[in-house]
Structure 1
């Protein structure tokens, strides 16, 4: 067993769990209904555990890099949506903007990031070849 990987993963999951506990407490106390918030959080934890159990076998067949690529696209798409909506720099008065198409802008953003990433992957070898020094080039040292 890889104890280092286990420890790092356990710490990450524990940190996320503590974060969720604080979020539940915050929302529950601000709504003056902590028991409902706690019950809802417990139900969500059960749903996530069941979904993880059901998806474990099919997802274990997906290559790791492909899975990371898909997760990165999802995080970037959602992150772009919420960052632009929440910044308020694109709307008069600093208000949050309403995306054209509402929540349907998220799949469009994910598709756009997919297209951009594919273009960059295709262009990467050419850029690397231009920036790599030629093997015959000599480096002069200052006297």
Structure 2
């Protein structure tokens, strides 16, 4: 088990599962929990099939440098998007994600809709949020090396969200989504940097081997925090003026 990949997948999936749960909760108030969970099961089955197919394809590509390069670039782009959003929210440039507001918006959307339409909202909501989980799982499992770790990380993340949702049956507002996105963004960018440069320069690109990932994560995490602080100070000065 690669615990760095497991942790990255677990944290990334936690955020997406929380957002999916908010949609399912809103739908359950329209068509009931039984039908809403049926939509969840259908969406998870779709995601499971996608993971199995792409996992087999990745196994065939073990050791292919161009594949590692492509996935490394993808992780860089994906991670930078998450990290940039987290920095903007931490700096106060963008409002923090509000699960309660998302819940109200979904309830408004469902007003007047029939059971079939509500079922489709739950299915599409879980599928779309799950697709981001799938992308992270597949990308972190580059070349099949970490596919088991990333898959189990995503599955493990689903358990606490499901348990908390079943107990509370309310939007999970206290999950520190932005803090998680900050950490995950830094970790995914670190993996992207590591695999991209390794594909270009071989093992010689990282003399410290996998330990280089620790330094990369710290570099991006601290850099992001410093940038958020600088942007917040700039914003405060602009307001004062």
TM range (shorter): 0.5 to 0.7
- Residue 103 of structure 1, CA deviation: 0.3
1: CA distance, partners of 2:61 / 2:222? 43
**Structure 2 CA distance for aligned equivalents of residues 72 and 64 of structure 1:** 12
Q: Distance in 2 between matches of 1:46 and 1:122?
A: 34
**Is the contact made by 2:197 and 2:205 (CA closer than 8 Å) also made in structure 1?**
no
Structure number with larger C-alpha Rg:
1
Normalised by the length of structure 1, the TM-score is 0.52
* Alpha-carbon shift at residue 29 of structure 1 (Å): 9.7
Q: 156, 166, 170: which is aligned to 1:51?
A: 156
2:197 is matched with 84
User: Per the alignment, do residues 16 and 125 of structure 1 end up closer, same or farther by CA in structure 2, a change over 3 Å counting?
Assistant: farther
Q: How far did 1:22 drift?
A: 2.9
State how far apart, in whole Å, the 1-side matches of 2:217 and 2:45 are. 26
Q: Which SS does the other structure have where 1:2 is aligned?
A: helix
SS in 2 for 1:115: helix
Q: Deviations over 1:31-62 (max 9, x none)?
A: xxxxxxxxxxxxx498457633555469x764
Distance 2:53 2:217 in 1: 30
Structure 1 residue ranges without an equivalent (≥5) = 31-43, 136-143
Cα RMSD (Å) of the superposition?
4.6
Match of 2:213 in 1: 106
Alignment of 1:123 onto 2:230: yes
Decide whether aligned partners of structure 1 residues 20 and 55 sit closer, same or farther in structure 2, where only a CA change above 3 A counts.
same
Whether 1:66 aligns to 2:179 is yes
Using CA pairs under 8 Å that are at least 6 residues apart, name the structure with larger relative contact order, 1 or 2: 2
Q: 1:21–1:65: structure 2 CA closer, same or farther, 3 Å change rule?
A: same
Q: 1:13 to 1:83 in 2, by over 3 A?
A: farther
2:109 is the counterpart of 1:2? no
- The gaps in structure 2 that reach 5 residues or longer are 1-21, 28-35, 63-147, 165-171
Mapped partners of 1:128, 1:12: distance in 2: 42
Name the structure 1 match of 2:109: none
Equivalents in 1 of 2:43, 2:192: separation in Å? 24
| Alpha-carbon spacing, 1:73–1:125, altered in 2? closer, same or farther (3 Å) | same
Q: Structure 1 residues 15 and 47 mapped into 2: Cα distance closer, same or farther (>3 Å)?
A: closer
